[in-house]
Structure formats: structure tokens, C-alpha cells
Amino acid sequence: MTSTFQPAGRIADLGVSEILAITARAAALKREGRPVIILGTGEPDFDTPSHIKDAAIAAIRRGETKYTNLDGSPEMKRAIRDKFARENGLSFAQNEVTAGAGAKQMLYNAMMASLNDGDEVIIPTPCWTSYFDIVQIAGGVPVAIPCPGEAGFRLSAEALEAAITPRTKWLLLNSPSNPTGAAYAEEHYRPLLEVLHRHPHVWLMVDDMYEHIIYDDFRFVTPLALDPSLKDRCLTINGVSKAYAMTGWRLGYAGGPAGLIAGMAVVQSQSTSCPCSVTQAASIAALDGPQDFLKDRAASFARRRDLVVDALNRIDGITCRRPEGAFYTYASCEGMLGRVTPGGARLRDDRDFCAWLLEAANVAVVPGSAFGLSPYFRISYATSEAELTEAMARITAACALLQGAEALAPAES
């Protein structure tokens, strides 16, 4: 007999998010005294607005520190329903909405409640790293559909049609996207919805977390608003983390068919139970309160986006698409592969390139391989313009130190 821990098969091949691992490594170097700039974390640098914090404090003083209803208090659910109706034109009954400890829990609850072993979930890549792992933990099979930059990092109707099998349970879409910032407009969604109509066994899950962080003249739309006939097989997920700078408060919500919502509540009842009562009070204030500051914050993010995109595109060997939303760039470093560092190391993939930036520039970014599409790297520009300016100068200088532009030979790639 051995006392050594043996992980369950469902997690044996999984690990902690590579984003978290890179951030932890960079933070450790920073504690050692290195001037590391961390551009890996998907967290707004803005503070939670005062009226939201005041609502939480008031709830504490009123003694609202007890358990609430399992998947959200009646007032929390009312605020969610009002938000969906006001901003998205979606009508949900009280038993068709749910709240939990973040949008990640909404995804987890839905997959655990709906997937049987071997059920397939179509996921356009690049994608948020948690999607694949959540599906696998729930016994499902993630089906990756590569969506390169030339296609705007968006799924095509033809690729969706080809990926659907009798085992397909869900199509999972995220717009604006983490990690690319690419977003689906109405003209991008319509062909996908037509495919779903031809395959009524396929359900649609949409992650709208970055809904309020959009730029230029892009117009956000959620699929169910375009096609209400999909209501009986569509789950719309959102949360307060990004728009309201409430990442640590942990409140996500979703709207969908009553049967699915009930199943998600069963999963939640045996994991976290109800969301934090104080967080619910703050989230109600966020959803019900003034929304005008959202445009100002998006405008600030847009300036940072342009700073980063313009700087990256000035570097020989890097190309970067200008995203429609979120606060990430997803740049190609293909032109860097095959180049050699001053120490003689040859860059073979995007992980090598990101490691070089940390070594030579003291800038931490995330390789595209973590998100399912290489050779790219993700920058989170949710930090100050001064820090971004310094980071771009360092990246530019580090890239200039690389020698040789020959591509990797096929046997080495």
C-alpha cells in the first residue's frame, strides 16, 4: 500500500491554468527584485465603483450576512432579469435565471448538469483555457476548431457544419473573446444560427463576459436576441467581473431553459451553495445602478489597445490584429521563429518567444499555445498607459537583439 496521492482520472491530465502559472512565476521574479511588468492577467486595473462598494457595506450593516436562496436571492434574480431585458432584449422568468460564484461556475454547472460521458462540445480556438478543462472534468470531449487570424479569429458556418456529429451537445461561443478580443457581429452570428437550425440536437452556450468592453463603432449583440426561437436550447452567460471591475467579488449569472437552470442548481447545491450575500448586494447595485462610466472605461481601454497594437506592428516579425473588444491583443510571432538569442538559443515556438521576453525584457506575456492556437502571444492591456509604454519599449528592444530570420526547417518545427 502507498499513501502517495493519486489524482482521479478526470483530472489526471489537467493542470493549473498556464496563465496563473506564468503570472505566479513573474510575480516571484518581481519579489526577487527584477523589474517585471506582468501583462498576463485578465483583470481590469480600475477600482470597483464607489456606489457598488457602498451597497455592500450597507448590506453588511443591515445584517445581510446569512445564506440566501441557492442560486441567487429573489432580488438578485430580479436584477439579472431586468439587465437581460433592458440591455439585450431577452425575457426570462424567475426560474430561468441563476447566479453563482463567477461566470466560470456558470460554465461548470452547465457542463456538469448536461454532459454525459463522450458528449462533444465544439469550441472555436483560440479560447479561454478553462473551457477545455471544464468540459473534460464533466466527462465531455472538447472539439477544437482552429480559427486563424486571417478569418478574424471567428468560427465559420462551414467549419461548424463539418464539426457537428450525433454526439455534439454544445457549441460554445465567446464574444468579445478572451484571448483575441475578436467579436461576432450580427452578420457573423447569422450563418452559425442557420447551421444550428439544421441540427436541433446541438445547444448553444454563449459567454458574453466582455459585453461592455467594445470599441469604435462595433455593435454588441447576443445570439438569442437575433433568434429567440433558440431559447429552449441556449444558455447566455455573463457576470460583473470585467465591466464593473469586480473580479474578486465572484458573481456570475446566466439565463436559459428552466430545466437546465434547475439542473445547474443541483450541481451548485453540492459545491458552493449560494453566492455570497454581500456580493449579491453589490452586484444588484452594479446591474441596477448608473452605467455611464462603462463608456469612459471602454474609451480608456481603446487608447491602450491602440498603443499596444501600433507598437507591436512596428516590430519586424510581429503582426497584430486590432481587436473589437475585451482588453487583449493576440499577436502572431511567426516571423520571430528561427531567430537566435545573443546566447545562441534558437526560438522554436511561441513558448520560446515568451520565455525570451521574460528573460530579456522582464515582460510576462502568455503564449498562444495555452489558448489552442500558435504561434501567437497574448497581452493583457488592462494596466496603465505608462506601464504599457515601458513594456512595449522593452519588447521592441528585446526583439532587436535576436539574430537571423531564417524559418525553422520542417524537421525542427
Q: Do 251 and 280 touch, CB atoms closer than 8 A?
A: yes
pLDDT value at position 170?
98
Nearest CA among 13, 16, 18 for reference residue 137: 13
Mean pLDDT across the stretch 220-235?
Answer: 98
Name the band, by pLDDT with cuts 50, 70 and 90, for residue 162. Answer: very high
CA pseudo-torsion sign 46, 50, 53, 55 = negative
Mean pLDDT across the stretch 202-225?
Answer: 98
- The pLDDT tens digits for 385-394 are 999 999 999 9
Centre a 10 Å sphere on the Cβ of residue 80 and count the other Cβ atoms it contains: 25
- The pLDDT tens digits for 11-47 are 888 877 777 778 888 888 889 999 999 998 889 999 9
* Chain-centroid distance, C-alpha 17: 12
For the CA atoms of 329, 155, 205, 13, what is the dihedral angle to 10 degrees?
Answer: -70
pLDDT value at position 406?
52
- The pLDDT tens digits for 40-94 are 888 999 999 999 999 999 999 999 999 999 999 999 999 999 999 999 999 999 9
pLDDT value at position 128?
95
CB-count burial class (<10 Å; 0-12, 13-18, 19+) for 217:
exposed
Percentage of residues of the chain with pLDDT beyond 90? 88
Name the band, by pLDDT with cuts 50, 70 and 90, for residue 231. Answer: very high
Q: Which amino acid would we find at residue 246?
A: M
Annotate 295-320 with DSSP letters as a single string. HHHHHHHHHHHHHHHHHHHTSTT-EE
Cell of 345: 538559443
CA distance 298 to 214: 7
CA distance 413 to 407: 9
pLDDT value at position 181?
98
56: left (phi over 0), alpha (psi -120 to 50) or beta: alpha
- The pLDDT tens digits for 333-347 are 999 999 999 999 999
Bridge partners of 124? 145
pLDDT value at position 44?
93
Nearest CA among 349, 320, 331, 342 for reference residue 407: 349
E runs forming strands in 42-83: none
Maximum distance among all Cα pairs of the chain, rounded to whole angstroms: 68
Q: Of the given ranges (19-23, 95-99, 240-244, 329-333), which has the lowest mean pLDDT?
A: 19-23
- Asked whether the predicted pLDDT for residue 413 surpasses 70, the reply is no
Name the band, by pLDDT with cuts 50, 70 and 90, for residue 410. Answer: very low
pLDDT value at position 1?
54
pLDDT value at position 217?
93
pLDDT value at position 411?
40
